[in-house]
Amino acid sequence: MRENKTFFVRYDNFPAAEGHVEIVPKRHVESFFELTARELKDAYSLIRSAQENLDDRHHPDGYTIGINEGRAAGRTVDHLHIHLIPRHYGDVDDPRGGIRRAVPNCEPDAWAASPR
């Protein structure tokens, strides 16, 4: 996989989809909010590089990019890692709501019916 001065890319141990990777800081950091400006730039650069690689290998229709920030958000490994998950039409029955489906009381049909 790829790396730069402050981050590396690795395949997820328990992938949610084929090609699911993590962008991981080399420095021990638990929180996204602890990253320096340089680390943020390096993380973004590697996310883009990994995305281009995954485009070539897996031809996804989209991506889910996520960070479980804190135990309350589902973090199980106390070292920051940014998930980059290739997505394809039909990989779930109804993808509407995306990450909002991670919390209760999420109803995409209500959004379509609500005035904006």
The C-alpha atoms of residue 14 and residue 37 are separated, in whole angstroms, by 30
Which of 34-38, 63-67, 72-76, 107-111 has the lowest average pLDDT? Answer: 107-111
> Is pLDDT of 21 > 70?
yes
39: Cβ contacts below 8 Å, ≥ 6 apart: 6, 7, 25, 27, 29
CA atoms within 13 Å, Cβ hemisphere of 93: 2
45: Cβ contacts below 8 Å, ≥ 6 apart: 4
* 62-66 vs 82-87, strand pairing mode: antiparallel
Superfamily of domain 7-113: HIT-like (3.30.428.10)
Q: What is the pLDDT of residue 98?
A: 77
Buried b (16+ CB within 10 A) or exposed e, 97-111: eeeeeeeeeeeeeee
Active site residues: 81
pTM given for the model: 0.87
Structure tokens at 51: 């995305």
